[in-house]
């Protein structure tokens, strides 16, 4: 399941369990058309409950997210991962960075929100 919410001007995306490509695309389409999601939104991906994946799969997912949400012109994204998820975190950063998004990696939500606040309009 992939869900999202807007909280204090931040788009929070939460992946849980196995998510198919069509499911991801459907949620990204909802986000693109959601009038509550502002353009140039800061994104927080809370992947602490997501199952592990290969670095290649994580890079592809990051690139897909950026491409699919391009109409919202994501500039910056914080990723929350468990402390043992460093390999996946770096793969996500590589994938999103290659698509033009600045990515911060965090294991603490408060630190992630503080980092994002510097980029909020």
CATH code (residue 41): 3.30.70
Is 1 domain-assigned?
A: no
Secondary structure of the chain: what % helix, strand, coil (to 5)?
Answer: 45, 20, 35
The parent domain of residue 91 ranges over: 7-117
- Residue 43: which pLDDT band, with cuts at 50, 70 and 90? very high
Look at residue 84 and tell me whether its pLDDT is greater than 70. no
C-alpha dihedral (87, 91, 97, 99), degrees to nearest 10: -170
Look at residue 96 and tell me whether its pLDDT is greater than 90. no
Q: What is the pLDDT of residue 50?
A: 79
pTM of the model: 0.89
Total domains in the fold of the chain: 1
């Amino acid at each position: 399941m992939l869900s999202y919410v807007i909280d204090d001007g931040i788009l929070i995306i939460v992946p849980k369990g196995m998510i198919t490509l069509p499911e991801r695309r459907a949620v990204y389409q909802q986000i693109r058309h959601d009038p509550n999601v502002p353009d140039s939104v800061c994104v927080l991906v809370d992947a602490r409950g997501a199952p592990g994946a290969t670095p290649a799969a994580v890079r592809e997912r990051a690139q897909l997210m950026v491409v699919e949400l391009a109409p919202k012109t994501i500039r910056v994204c914080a990723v929350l991962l468990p402390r043992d998820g460093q390999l996946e975190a770096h793969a996500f950063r590589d994938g999103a960075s290659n698509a033009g998004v600045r990515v911060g990696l965090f294991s603490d939500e408060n630190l992630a929100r503080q980092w994002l606040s510097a980029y909020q309009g």
